[in-house]
Chain A
Amino acid sequence: MKEINLTVNSQPYRLSVPPHRTLLEVIREDLGLTGTKEGCGLGECGACTVLMDGQAVNSCLVLAAEADGKEITTVEGLADGDKLHPIQQAFVDHGGLQCGFCTPGMILSAKALLDKNPHPTEEEIKQGIAGNLCRCTGYAKIIESIKAAADNMGGK
């Protein structure tokens, strides 16, 4: 077992984890934050995407031990009370989701993109979510949602 300290959605946690435990397992099972989804478990679908020190990562491929000392943001950490984050609001308004299973990961990939590049081109948006599969939407309304979020956030 290894002692780790991590911050998830601004809350500090101290946990004792086996060496093979993934960050995804810690988030879902130890912290009970089930908004982060497990699709493939192999880093191919992006459903488990979270932000680790601002970088979008597949949490199924990150060992919990590697997250020691890091700051993690999951989908539960985006809204400000009842007020949705502008990216969440844009997905709601523009139909950027259907079944919703890819949505938490998709929104976090979008956040990682917009944090670095507040005014992305369509091609840059596609690159930004290229690691996140969506089987329902055909991506058009996701791309539209991210564009709208970028516009609404005005580079903030």
Chain B
Amino acid sequence: MAELSVIGQRVPRVDAREKVTGQAKYAADYSLPDMLWCKLLRSPHPHARILNIDTSQAEKLPGVKGIVTGKDFGGWSWGWMPATRDETPLAVDKVRYMAEAVAGLAAVDEDTAEEATGLIKVDYEELPGVFDPEEAMKDGAPQVHDYVKNNISVEYHWNFGDTEKAFAESHLVREDRFRTARATHGYLEPPAILAYYDPTGYITVWASKQSPYFHYRHLAACFKLPLSRVRVVQPFIGGGFGGTKNDSLAGDFCAVLLSKMTGRPVKYIESMEEELATSRRRHSVIVYSKMGVDKDGLLKAIQHRVVADGGGYTAIGPLSMYLNGFITTLPYRLPHFKFDAYRVFTNNPIGAAMRGHGVTHTRFAAEIQMEMLAEELGIDPVEMRMRNAIDNPKPGEIYETINKVTLETCGLKQAIKEAVEDPLWRDRDKMPKKEGAISWGVGLSGTSYSGGARQMGHQACAAIIRLCEDGTVNLITGATDCGQGSDTVLCMIAAEEMGIKLDDVSIKRVDTAYTPVDPGSYGSRVTILAGQATQKAARQVKKQLLEVAAKNWQVKPEDVEIRLGEVSLKSDPSKKMPFIKLARIACYSGTGAVIMGTGYSSYGIEHLDLTSGTGNGACSYSFTAHTARVGVDMETGKIITTGFTLASDCGRLLSPIQAEGQIEGGAIQGLGQALYEDFIMDKGKTLNPTFLDYKMPHALDVPNMKLIDIVTDDPFGPFGAKEASEGSIVSAPPAVISAIHDATGIWFKELPVTPEKVVKALKEKK
């Protein structure tokens, strides 16, 4: 790799100053004169027919300016795929989960709006509900939607190789049932929108959307306007992690429609309780895993039957289920694989996407089951993984899985090797195993995640770079930084490619009226795909500037070099000029040039095949090995985590501070899902819709973290980059569960492992 000036430097985020001074504006921080406040009325039943909605009393309350119900949206519905557009902005005939919105209203202030929602009278006919996906699949179960049978929202049946034969030939086969938690994103910024429907037929919204172009399409379709008349202006986003902020919500549609009706701007801010009770959270998934190995522990076959709680609507479910299966063939060599997936409608809140989308469930099951097999065979867990792990392909070679996932770099073996050389694992036998009531244990995981995700339909990210006459540049992209640091990374890529200083690159937030269309921030795709687009745009600008410099110096463009804001002649570095001078020459010579570069990404542009599960769902794959040390109080069941070693092959780290923050954040979010986080549901009702009761990790729960970089230069990423953080959230739970097993001798198969579960299991063990 050529010597890099900006990439790889430990630079602060480009938006850090705005954020530490409180100047960064989030959706709820925007206001307009004459603005109304929107509130929603939500269903108190998980499954009920709507017989009548009487808004007359609410209309009479002074200050109420408009009320909308489901019928006002004219039957429009949306969803991720054309065949599954089963959700309407507000429930029309029936509510399918508790707290589904049934009406929205706008009033002069928040208190009046709140009071008015209490005056809307809805007559419901309660229907029998179904809350367990396996119950919902049975004949005779209450039907959540009429358009499918047995509540099957999505199903896939993939079969690669001959699993039956492979199990018959296996030395040892295990079958276990695993279950993942009802976990949610837990960002601190509740969804919010400020909407204005200009009476001449333009929509402008300031909304907390991590993928604003989804929202732009939804609004154009719902309000039957050309896309060119829908403007989503992007504020700073207070965390995303997929799901909710990648979709449009009842409050969004209501705010826009109420603005259209009243001619005034309308603001809607969801309360955190509403958010936690209705978020488009990670699916809770039951994984029936069957795994066969030979006498040396080499994997022969995996068969997964997964049943996911889809909740009331499909949303992004078809992709979630695909992701449950498509990289079960990574990161270990797997000759035979069978996958039967069922996403099932229930009367619970909607299951959707969250960081580590899909893979967190099946990889957790496979990791734990592989360790169980290793234990039965008497094979060391490190050895078990090293025997099965995919080797790093030699440069130019490609590894292909049985379902035709291909990769050119794989740092898993190196990650495991370095993780277990770290004292946390290496010296585990020198550390105390028992101290009072605390039993200590250490665990390991080795996992993979995809980066640069492919999507149905439009996939390309784009960038525009404009040269200013003072030598600075504007970087314009439709890609969103929702906190992950991509704006910084994209600016670094532009600076590196153009040979200028990072400070001379300026980036602004997405505005669909001006920025190029972009698929969105999901599937760890921004650095890879918007990064490639930025590279291409920067190269175009640089090419034009090199031509100007060459003409000026009477040399060839390839003889000129631009580096850190200095333009020089390669053969005679004493001949040089500052970049600003070259910019001025370019912009002012003759009639004056207007120098711009554009580019869009081309990595991974293939068709995504959901029904067969064959082919690449992404550009490249990260590999992660974690070790964790935990202490289990054998009396109270409380678990503390004191150490995490996180070895990650994220390709090359372009912005190390940002990548480290992602890896650490992903691991701690994963720790939460291993030990604490779960929505407690009672017949569709969320019993813990508050942060206090949902229990995300706080600072005192966090172990010391040590990071190890495994650098591979992937050809399908700018400067060799792959994804960071989704691998981390996938890898953390199995490492923690393996550590708990080391401490207690018990394999926990259901997340999260709460003190209650530990105490119960310890009693059963006795």
Contacts and interface: CB of A to CB of B under 8 A. Distances in A.
Contacts of B657: 94-95, 141
Contact of A141 (B24, B25, B271, B664): B664
Interface stretch (A51-59, A61-69, A129-137): A129-137
Nearest to A75: B22
Contacts of A41: 271-272
B186 A84 contact: no
B17 A93 contact: no
A122 B691 CA distance: 24
A76 B189 contact: no
B478 to A, nearest CB: 19
Contacts of B17: 84, 92
Given A44-B692, A133-B188, A36 B22 contact: yes
A5 to B, nearest CB: 23
Contact of B19 (A47, A100, A139): A100
Contact of A79 (B19, B21, B24): B21
Contacts of A132: 698-699
Given A44-B691, A133-B188, A99 B667 contact: no
A110 to B, nearest CB: 11
Contact of A99 (B271, B483, B660): B483
Contacts of B26: 34, 37, 101
A136 B665 CA distance: 5
Given A37-B26, A99-B482, A139 B702 contact: yes
Interface string B15-52: 11111111111101100000000000000000000000
Contacts of B238: 37, 99-101
Contact of A136 (B25, B239, B690, B705): B239
Interface in A79-123: 79, 84, 88-89, 91-95, 97-104, 107
Interface in B351-408: none
User: Looking at B483, B661, B668, which has the most chain A CB atoms within 10 Å of its CB?
Assistant: B661
Contact of B188 (A45, A91, A143): A45
B699 A129 contact: yes
Interface in A121-151: 125-127, 129-143
Query: Which of A33, A88, A97, A136 has the most C-beta atoms of chain B within 10 angstroms of its own C-beta?
Result: A136
Nearest to A25: B110
A101 B187 contact: yes
B692 A100 contact: no
Contact of B189 (A39, A74, A125, A143): A39
A143 B705 CA distance: 12
B295 to A, nearest CB: 41
A40 interface: yes
A102 B188 contact: yes
B483 A139 contact: no
A39 B191 CA distance: 10
Contact of A84 (B21, B239, B664, B700): B21
A31 interface: no
Contacts of A131: 698
A143 to B, nearest CB: 7
Contact of B661 (A36, A126, A136): A136
Given A39-B272, A76-B22, A100 B691 contact: no
Contacts of B690: 40, 42, 44
29 contacts: A34-B25, A38-B28, A40-B188, A41-B271, A44-B691, A44-B692, A45-B272, A92-B12, A92-B13, A92-B16, A92-B20, A95-B661, A97-B19, A98-B485, A99-B236, A100-B15, A100-B18, A100-B483, A101-B187, A107-B20, A133-B188, A135-B188, A135-B241, A135-B696, A136-B661, A137-B665, A138-B661, A138-B667, A143-B699
**Which 10 interchain pairs have the tightest Cβ spacing?**
A35-B22, A99-B483, A101-B238, A100-B19, A138-B668, A75-B22, A34-B29, A138-B664, A95-B657, A39-B188
